[in-house]
Amino acid sequence: MHLPSLPLHCLALKHIRSQHLDSFNPSLHNQRCVADIYSIAYIKGHSMFRFTALLLTLITLTTAPLLAQEKSVKPGINKSFESPDVPKFIERFEREGRDVFDHQKEILAALALKPGMKVADVGAGTGLFTRQFSPRVGPCGKVYAVDISEEFTSHIKKTAKEQGLTNIQTVVCKPDSVELPPNSVDLVFICDTYHHFEYPYKTMRSIHRALKPGGEVVLIDFQRIEGVSDEWILGHVRAGQEVFTKEILDSGFVQIDEKLDLLDESYFVRFRKQ
């Protein structure tokens, strides 16, 4: 059994490390760990350990492109948004009794948008918040209404035109990328949408790229507490605030604020790009 030469091994290690730095991805992190084990094996010189480490490294290198395609964390969660019946969703999203609808004023006050800001409403849905951001950022500002659903963005484009909201730009994004220009926005607003992200790390890294230095993310999502939350939330929302916060921190953000008691069933947290 021949081990590849040390330079070859170093090249492989460099390749894995460069991928890791380019875009954060837990599976690439695992590859890096395997490569590090292999490094230790070289240093320690244990033949069995070296053989296993080599095997693991080779398997990891050959499957790297597949591993890099992070799997959906909640397959099927966006089925109803594939060709949505927009009027039905207006009834669902823009109705009294919905926590974020009932607390729009409080949410808008807490966001503290300023004229000239560039804001992205990621997972804009029927445009409930997009339309209200528009006058707050004013003619020198911009609101990107970002959604995976073309039906929703078309509806937002139509209503923005009807209401003369000229600073709204719609973006049909990908399930793993918000498709915004780099360094283009001051704030990303994610309301009742994070739990719909099927590729949260990739999506959050795309948001990180789209934010200007020091740019911020506001996350509103459902409180999900085992034994407390109702069956629908426990089934529909894949995880609670702690898990989502960890994923966002791991994507290159720090938490800078939380508005406790702003909402009844949801939390409001603010992060800053590092």
Ligand X SMILES: C[S@@+](CC[C@H](N)C(=O)[O-])C[C@H]1O[C@@H](n2cnc3c(N)ncnc32)[C@H](O)[C@@H]1O
Q: Which residues bind ligand X (CB under 6 A)?
A: 78, 81, 93, 100, 122-125, 128, 146-149, 152, 173, 175, 191-193, 196-197, 203
Q: Order of strands, edge to edge, in the sheet holding 118-122?
A: 168-172, 142-147, 118-122, 185-191, 211-222, 266-273, 253-258
CA distance 204 to 127: 21
Beta carbon of residue 153, minimum distance to ligand X (angstroms, whole number): 9
Question: What is the C-alpha separation between 236 and 219, in angstroms, rounded?
Answer: 17
**CA pseudo-torsion sign 212, 223, 175, 101:** negative
Compare residues 100 and 185 and give the one whose CB is closer to ligand X: 100
> Can you tell me which residue has the tokens 């926590």?
99
Nearer to ligand X, 63 or 69 (CB): 69
End-to-end alpha carbon distance in the chain? 46
Q: Which is nearer to ligand X, 92 or 272 (CB)?
A: 92
Smallest distance, Å, CB 77 to ligand X? 8
| Closest distance of CB 133 from ligand X, Å | 11
Nearer to ligand X, 152 or 268 (CB): 152
| Tokens, residue 242 | 């702690």
Of 113, 110, 32, give the one whose Cα is nearest residue 267.
Answer: 110
Shortest approach of ligand X to residue 117 CB, angstroms? 18
CB of 199 to ligand X, least distance (A): 7
By beta-carbon proximity to ligand X, the closer residue of 36 and 179 is 179
